[in-house]
């Protein structure tokens, strides 16, 4: 059993298209705030082919599990995807090449109509 890691911090990253991505860590949750679904999609495509993306996500999941952390991906302050020890892939995540991430498709669709502040 992993010992839980308590993290606290905030980092902002600016993508090459000027979009700001915010990473916030509080307790055992790391929240990655994307400005839009389109930015998320562009960054996902830049990560490489589906097989490479799936390997990266699998490594992220292993690291998060070892530290007993949860990673949440949000758009417009809504959780659109989660990665933790219980996350399992679906046909959609395998097709997208993001492996064991739990997606929230309805929330993703709702995020198309509102950008985060």
Tokens linked to 33: 């705030």
- Does the CA dihedral 44-46-51-55 come out positive or negative? negative
Question: What pLDDT score does 4 carry?
Answer: 67
Question: What pLDDT score does 65 carry?
Answer: 83
Q: What is the pTM of this model?
A: 0.81
**pLDDT of 2-27, one tens digit each?**
566 788 899 998 988 888 999 999 98
- 71 forms beta bridges with 30, 83
Question: What pLDDT score does 2 carry?
Answer: 52
**pLDDT of 57-100, one tens digit each?**
888 888 888 888 899 999 988 999 998 877 777 888 877 778 78
């Amino acid at each position: 059993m992993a010992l839980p890691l308590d993290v606290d911090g905030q980092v902002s990253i600016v993508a090459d298209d000027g979009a700001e991505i915010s990473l916030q860590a509080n307790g055992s949750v790391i929240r990655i705030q994307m400005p839009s679904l389109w930015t998320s999609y562009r960054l996902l495509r830049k990560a490489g082919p589906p097989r490479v993306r799936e390997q990266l996500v699998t490594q992220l999941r292993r690291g998060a599990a070892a530290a007993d952390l949860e990673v949440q991906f949000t758009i417009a302050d809504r959780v659109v995807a989660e990665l933790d020890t219980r996350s399992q892939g679906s046909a959609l995540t395998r097709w997208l090449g993001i492996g064991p991430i739990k997606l929230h498709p309805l929330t993703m669709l709702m995020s198309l109509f509102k950008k985060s502040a």
